Copies of this chain bind each other. A is one copy, B any other.
Amino acid sequence: MNDLVLGLMDRLRAGDVRALGRAVSLVEGGSDLTPELLAACFPLTGRALRIGITGPPGAGKSTLVDRLARHFRDVGKTVGVVAVDPSSPFTGGAILGDRIRFQGFADDSCFYARSMATRGALGGLARATADVASVVEASGKDLILIETVGVGQDEVDIVRLADMSLVVLVPGMGDDVQSLKAGVLEIADVFVINKSDRDGAERLESELITMQSLGHGLALRWVSPVVRTVGSTGMGTAELVLAITDFENWLGVEGRLESRRVTQWRERILDMVQGELLREIRRVGLGDVELGELALQVAGGLVNPYVAVPGLVSKLRG
């Protein structure tokens, strides 16, 4: 193993927060050391519970995540937070934001938070997030909270790589639940109605309950509970923790957690394979210059891409 990776892993395992930050930056930045670093982290993962939290902008996810993190720290669990904004073009700035947001956790070496805002991350943001979460877990965290901003396909893809998904909604979101993207509702293991002191909480709750009773005929399936919270006051945090624990217990039997993770790994492996293949083909014959030249010929109608691309791929096969 590379000496830098070795040294970093030693410090990371010893609880050195700066080593963890360095390792995450390497992975996020797509350093050449990334594969080795991730390979070294892998044996240290698999024991933490990963909770994904998503919902529309303005639903108060950050406040809720802070409440949850505080609770779990108070009961003695080590906690990592990975916050992702797929639409934001900024990276560096996010880290300053973290310092302000998580001030209450300063000097707590059993807590670590990191924002990722890497639009166009090489090989997919969902995979990059899962990789960063692995590094954070490898540093010895019991619980990883993965928070995303937004309700698009990207966010669904990210949250689907967690063991459990919380979908945070607020009363009076324009129309009603129908207007939410189907994918977001499907992934919810627990629904949270935050800012539930506002008008419309009751209506939203009954819509969510009706929706679930319509959608599924299987009696043995998990019926996602609806928890009302007010992030700003802490109201409902205890109930939310209870719902999380209930689901964790449900997951814990009949191989449910394992089966969820196998499904996730199927997707991650395919994603990794694709990324690796792309890196390879970029290296052996489709570098920036070749790609630019080919694009120019295709745009000019001189080369038919549907003929050229299969040709390129067979060339890779040797």
Residue numbers of A with Cβ under 8 A of B are 35-36, 38-39, 42-43, 46, 57-58, 86-89, 119, 150, 152-154, 174-175, 179, 181-183, 258, 261-266, 268-270, 272-274, 276-278, 280-281, 286, 291-292, 294-296, 298-301, 304-310, 312-313, 316-318
Contact = CB atoms under 8 A, between A and B. Distances in A.
Given A35-B306, A276-B309, 9 more contacts: A42-B305, A43-B301, A87-B153, A153-B154, A261-B299, A265-B298, A269-B305, A270-B291, A273-B309
Contacts of A86: 152-153
16 contacts: A35-B306, A46-B301, A87-B153, A152-B153, A258-B299, A262-B299, A265-B295, A265-B298, A269-B305, A269-B309, A270-B286, A276-B309, A316-B316, A316-B317, A317-B318, A318-B318
Q: Which secondary structure characterizes the binding site on chain A? A: helix
Given A38-B306, A150-B152, A153-B119, A266 B286 contact: no
A307 B276 contact: no
B265 A305 contact: yes
B42 A306 contact: yes
Contacts of A263: 295
Given A152-B153, A179-B57, A306-B35, A277 B281 contact: yes
Contacts of A295: 262-263, 265-266, 269
Q: How many copies does the complex hold?
A: 2
Contact of A266 (B262, B291, B313): B291
A274 B278 contact: yes
Contact of A280 (B58, B175, B304, B313): B313
A274 B86 CA distance: 22
A291 B307 contact: no
A87 B304 contact: no
